[in-house]
Every structure is written in structure tokens, then in C-alpha cells.
Chain A
């Protein structure tokens, strides 16, 4: 039986992964009001990009210290290309179309990417072994692996650079302007198409970071891995307040911790013995989403729509 600190750590780790993926949903939504339902598959292709580098490019016996950064670059390139390609060729032509059109396109794109990987990536239809970083360290009563350390460090670096980028850089400022008022942003001389591409690219790269962490942590990947992770990350983005990057990360962490604690402890409540364990984790995650939306429809950090000018 795991201790409470261990459960909290597990929840935080899972939540960081959700949060990294959630950034992609929330940034794209914040700028073009589109839910990119193919984002889970952008995450999945990133994992296969990283695996490709390890299995087919690096020589056997490369140390993980050298391999991980190169796998991140490989996964990052694949995810960013898929994300930017999706924007350019699937979503941009539908920019002026009714909202339902890009939504259906996103679902179609999601299935297309899954099937492409399933049919053309060797062994992806079952599950492929991913080099894992499973050396374990004990901090008090909490055990964490090297993969966990990578995940936490990557999440912190990604989030703080993103926060800096959006608030301080010229492109970040342009991004805020585009999110608040796209037509007027153009009147300032901002190339809003370029800003939209940047949002997709950042979301894609963060998804690749999450995908590499996933592989290193769980040791295998498959073509369906993006579905549930994508859905959970989308839940995190909505819970945190869609459009808000801090909300995405907070929503991810809250969701990860709640899900972990629920599956560990709910069965201790009299009468709920059957409702604990990993098999119920997803149920509790979505129950939490429903509760948040009932009592705070704008999400944890979202603004009430009436406050928007």
C-alpha cells in the first residue's frame, strides 16, 4: 500500500503530464476558438518521433544522457510538424466556416493520424517498447524514478519559459493581442496567421515533451495512447479555464491528484468498496470535471464571459 505522500507525488506527476498537453488545447482555443481534438494524436506522434530517434537513428548502446535530448528534438520536430501541418492544411481553409466544420475535421484528423501510425509504423498496432528511465530514488517515504525527475524538470522549464514568452516577448505580446481581438491585432501590423502557427507549434512541442516523459515513465507506447491522454488533458484545460495557460497547468495538476487520490482512497469509504482502484480513476476524473463545470462554469482560473470586452 502506497503512503499518502507517495500518492500525492504520483498525482502531481500525472498532472504535470496532463498540464503539458493541456497547454496545446488552451493556447489554440485562446487564439482561434477551436478545440483541436487531434491534439492527443499530436502527442502520440511525438512519442513515435522520439522512439524513431532511439531505435532507428542512434547507434545501439547510446547512453540515455545523450539519447534523451536527441529524442526530445526528434519527437519535438514530429509533433510540431504535425501540429503546424494540421493548422495549415486542415484548419486554416475552414477559418471562416461554421464552427462545426473544423470540429468534425479535428475528429477526422485524429482518426487519420491514428490509422497512419497503426498501419505504417512497424509494431505500433500492438505496443512498442520505449526505453524507460526506471532507476528509483527514495526521498523520505516517496519513491520517484529518473523519468519522474525528467518530467517534473521539463514541466517547470516549459511552463516558466512559456509564461515569460507570453508576457515579455514581442511575439508573446502579439499573441495576447490576437487572442483578445484578432481584427484589431492586424491593424497593429501583427501577422495573425503567423501567431496562430506559433500557438500550434508551442502546443505541439509541449505535447512532445509530455510524450517523451510518458514513454520514459511507462516503457511502452502505442497508436491509441493519445486518445485518453488527450481527453484528460482537454478536461484539465476546461477545468482550469480554457484559454488560460496557467489554468491548463493548474487544471492538470488538480485532475492528476484528484484522480490518483480517488482511485487510492475512495474504496475505504463504507459502501464504496467497489468504486476504487485504477479502473475507476477515469470515472472520478470526469465526475470532477462535471462538478467544476456545475459550480464554476468558466473553470478555476477562467474569466466570466461577461467580463470580456
Chain B
């Protein structure tokens, strides 16, 4: 069986500076895979390349049996890859409902879209209460919920979440993480980038540790969680 997402020897450069230096990994359908590592390790660059916002300088990306390299960003969503970007990037002057509708921009099934908007409100009731409010007025955590809800609106085969817990209060972070667990139990395939390694590894099937553009360690979530070097470097233990 081939994986849903297959990344082989991926290189990405900003001008002369190589941010991703030949990484390979894969994501199987139904799995949660996480990339962890410090700032500047190349995690966000990897996701932005997968969704077509950045062009790789070398390497191969295969998604659902089709090559992704060279495909324009707006066509990649149609293939079933959704990306909830770092920093949330909701559309601040549109309402919550309009943000969700934009997540379903390429879909034509009006009823299905309505149903999925309702599903997002069930997942995050606060969004339903504020559906007519401009998204820019939401708190950071609520914006994160909206960004995730919006990404789900395209009915993705793979959901990529970039730093969903960034800048959130512990309570809000809990809420986001438990939502990821819920999505996982519903069978959603997720590629998760996190600085909060503890939380990410505890719920991931597979994890990869990135350092300055390379994957330096891979394993199951549990293995990495108990790996001594990971505990020292990322979980703040002596």
C-alpha cells in the first residue's frame, strides 16, 4: 500500500539560503504525523511547500498518487490537501460564516456545505454563536478554531495544521488538542507541526524531529516521547 503523502528528498531554498535540506517522510491515510523542532527548523517551510505556496528546489512530493511539484497552490486544495497556516490567517474583515464558506470555495454542493458549516459549529460552538461577527474580533484561540474549521470545509483527505497551539492560553490549547484527537478518531488524516512537542507526540502515530532543515530523528509518537535526546532538547528535562 502506498502512503497518502510521500515526500522524497525535498529541498527548499529562500534565495541562496536552504531552509529544507533534503527531507523524506510519508503520511498514511488515517494517521496523525507530527513534525517537531525549534524555530527555524524548516517545519513551516515544509508545509508551505506541500501546499504550493513555495516551490521546492529539488525533490519529489506525491499526494494520493499524483505528483504535487509544480502544481499551483490554488489547484492543490482541489486534490484534497488543506492547510491551516501558522498564525491562523483568518480573513479579518469577513464574518465567521463567510470565512467558513471560503473554506468550501471549490465545492458546488450547497447542501453539503451547509451541513459542514453546521458540523464546524458543533465542533466549536463559540463559532456558531458569533457566526455574523467579523473574524478579526475573535480571540486568538477562537481564530485558531475558525482556521481549523475553515480548513475542514474543503473536505480534505489530508489536513495540515501549522502551530495550532501557538500563543494560546493553556485552557485554549487543551481545547485545540482535544479537537485534534476528536478529528483523529473520526478518521481524519493530519500532518501536525508543533512547537509543543509533548502535546504533539502524545497524540501522533508518527513523529519526525527537525533541526536546521533536516530530519534528525523519526519514530512513533510514543518512542519519541520517551527518547532521551528528545526529552532533553524539546521537553525541557535535564
Q: Is A187 in contact with B73, judged by CB distance below 8 angstroms? A: yes
- Taking a contact as CB atoms closer than 8 A, the residue among B52, B75, B92, B102 that contacts A188 in the complex is B102
Q: Give A178's nearest chain B residue, CB to CB.
A: B91
**Nearest chain A CB to B10's CB is how many angstroms away?**
19
Q: Is B85 in contact with A176, judged by CB distance below 8 angstroms? A: no
Contacting residues of chain B (49-66) with chain A, CB-CB under 8 angstroms: 51-53
Q: How far is the CA of A176 from the CA of B89 in the complex (A)?
A: 14
Note all chain A residues with C-beta closer than 8 A to B53: 183, 186-187
**Nearest chain A CB to B127's CB is how many angstroms away?**
17
Note all chain B residues with C-beta closer than 8 A to A176: 91, 93-94
The number of residues on chain A lying at the interface, defined by a beta carbon within 8 Å of a beta carbon of chain B, is: 19
Note all chain A residues with C-beta closer than 8 A to B89: 181, 183-184
Q: Is A183 in contact with B93, judged by CB distance below 8 angstroms? A: no
- Taking a contact as CB atoms closer than 8 A, the residue among A174, A184, A189, A309 that contacts B78 in the complex is A189
Note all chain A residues with C-beta closer than 8 A to B132: none
Q: Give B154's nearest chain A residue, CB to CB.
A: A189
Note all chain A residues with C-beta closer than 8 A to B74: 186, 188-192
Q: Give B48's nearest chain A residue, CB to CB.
A: A183
Q: Verify if B101 is at the interface (C-beta below 8 Å from A).
A: yes
The number of residues on chain B lying at the interface, defined by a beta carbon within 8 Å of a beta carbon of chain A, is: 27
Q: Verify if A212 is at the interface (C-beta below 8 Å from B).
A: no
Contacting residues of chain A (13-49) with chain B, CB-CB under 8 angstroms: none
Q: How far is the CA of A88 from the CA of B7 in the complex (A)?
A: 34
1/0 per residue, CB under 8 A from B, across A146-187: the answer is 000000000000000000000000100110110011011111
Q: Which of B53, B82, B105 gathers the greatest number of chain A CB atoms within 10 Å?
A: B105
Note all chain A residues with C-beta closer than 8 A to B101: 173
Q: Verify if B98 is at the interface (C-beta below 8 Å from A).
A: yes
Note all chain A residues with C-beta closer than 8 A to B75: 189
Q: Is A177 in contact with B91, judged by CB distance below 8 angstroms? A: yes
**Nearest chain B CB to A109's CB is how many angstroms away?**
27
Q: Is B154 in contact with A173, judged by CB distance below 8 angstroms? A: no
Q: Is B105 in contact with A181, judged by CB distance below 8 angstroms? A: no
1/0 per residue, CB under 8 A from B, across A36-78: the answer is 0000000000000000000000000000000000000000000
Note all chain A residues with C-beta closer than 8 A to B83: 187
Note all chain B residues with C-beta closer than 8 A to A191: 72, 74
Q: Verify if A308 is at the interface (C-beta below 8 Å from B).
A: yes
Q: How far is the CA of A173 from the CA of B105 in the complex (A)?
A: 9
Note all chain B residues with C-beta closer than 8 A to A192: 74
**Nearest chain B CB to A168's CB is how many angstroms away?**
11
**Nearest chain B CB to A173's CB is how many angstroms away?**
7
Q: Verify if B77 is at the interface (C-beta below 8 Å from A).
A: yes
Q: How far is the CA of A234 from the CA of B177 in the complex (A)?
A: 49
Interface residues of A (CB under 8 A from B): 170, 173-174, 176-177, 180-181, 183-192, 308-309
Known A186-B52, A309-B136; further 14 A-B contacts with Cβ < 8 A: A173-B94, A173-B102, A176-B91, A176-B93, A176-B94, A177-B94, A181-B91, A186-B74, A187-B77, A188-B154, A189-B77, A189-B78, A190-B74, A191-B72
17 A–B contacts from the bound complex (CB under 8 Å): A170-B105, A176-B93, A177-B91, A180-B91, A180-B93, A183-B53, A183-B73, A183-B85, A183-B89, A187-B51, A187-B53, A188-B77, A188-B103, A188-B150, A188-B154, A189-B74, A192-B74
